[in-house]
Amino acid sequence: MILVTGGTGLVGGHLLYKLVIAGQSPKALKRSSSNIEKTRKIFSYYSDDYEKLFSKVEWVDGDILDYNSLLGAMDGIDYIYHCAASVSFQSADKATLVQTNVQGTENVINAALQSSIKKLLHVSSIGALGRAGSNGITTEKSEWNSKKTSVYSTSKYLAEMEVWRGIAEGLDAVIINPSIILGPGDWTTGSAKLFTTMYNGLKFYSIGSNGFVDVEDVTKAMILLMESDISNERFIHNSENILYKQLFEWMARGLKVPEPKYKAGKFLSEIGWRLLWVKGIVTGNKSTITKETAETANQFYNYSNDKIRKQLNFEFMPIKESIHKNTKFFLRDKNKNHI
């Protein structure tokens, strides 16, 4: 029996769909306040028979911060996909990030050990890896450096430390470190909000680059890793390292909107995040552009996918193809007034 945490998120929702069409009837942990309609919507992107498929998911009320609820959810469970996490690049959200990502993962690991779980897969992030810098390529062996890292990256690094601690105590586990994940779902949050921002008229492009991967590739790799004999290892999951300018051009073409014309260098980015920070205070709406994201957007990050390609014989969906697919989903929702 399989348990998925974070089943109402982008990765967790897509994973549940993949598991169901593979003949599984997974359990999904959710908080009582969580909106499972987000996951139902994800199912609807891929099948006309999505209601029947969605009904195969067994939703269980619980919280990764409630240890006893975790023990109850893990009763009869053999395998756990730990996808639950809080994502924010706002320094003010540090306490929430630490509580959810670090303490929550600590609880999941302890409960898994107590429940004699056969194997656990932890969804981490490339943010939890060391940065090789503009002249190098980051691999699974790149050393962590706490300087100039976001509060989110630090929380994911510390969460990984809990997984490695669990491994040392006898837990069979594997870690996947996805780059920036592209996929359909809630177009107002996370990386999916990039499509909304572009559609609404993005005028500037940043000069940096980063790694990107399609959500379908992420969930496919997760299942392959879980079903393999591989354990006690971490894997970068990155399709391509792409310039933001190139990414935005592909998105604009897919969404049939003008491409960004103006380069936002370091100086302009510094001004921009400060103005948006002030606007957020006035309006009460936090900006997705922060000091940390502005700095990242002007860096050149490159990630190796050699390890997972070789060990799983994995072939990635090209990012241009991913953008084409996801812009079609976005426009479909826009035409149906789902955004």
Per domain, the residue ranges of the chain are 2-183+210-241+302-317
Taking the CA atoms of residue 130, residue 133, residue 136 and residue 137 in that order, the dihedral angle to the nearest 10 degrees is 40
CA distance 339 to 330: 8
How do residues 77-88 score in pLDDT, each as one tens digit? 999 999 999 777
pLDDT at 28 over 90: yes
- From residue 244, alpha-carbon distances to 71, 80, 259, 310 in Å are 43, 34, 12, 27
Per-residue pLDDT at 45: 96
More confident residue, 129 or 292: 129
pLDDT value for 132: 67
What average pLDDT does the structure give for the chain? 87
Closest of 223, 225, 224 to residue 234, by C-alpha? 225
104: closest CA among 138, 79, 80? 80
- Where does the pLDDT of residue 135 fall: very low under 50, low under 70, confident under 90, or very high at 90 and above? low
* C-alpha torsion 136→142→148→153, nearest 10: 120
How much of the chain is helix, strand and coil, in % rounded to 5? 50, 15, 35
Query: Sorting pLDDT into bands at 50, 70 and 90, what band is 293?
Result: low
Give the C-alpha separation, 140 to 126, whole Å.
Answer: 9
pLDDT of 168 higher than 50: yes
Average pLDDT of 86-114?
A: 86
Burial class (CB in 10 A: 0-12, 13-18, 19+), 320: middle
In the predicted structure, residue 339 carries a pLDDT above the cut 80: no
Q: What's the topology of domain 2-183+210-241+302-317? A: Rossmann fold (3.40.50)
Whether 240 has a pLDDT exceeding 70, the answer reads yes
> Taking phi first (over 0 means left), then psi (-120 to 50 degrees means alpha), and beta for anything else, what does residue 325 get?
alpha
Q: What is the pLDDT of residue 298?
A: 65
**Paired strand residues for 80:** 3, 120
217-237 pLDDT, tens digit per residue, is 999 999 999 999 999 999 999
pLDDT the model gives residue 143: 84
Cα dihedral sign, 308-309-315-321: positive
pLDDT band at 266 (very low <50, low <70, confident <90, very high): low
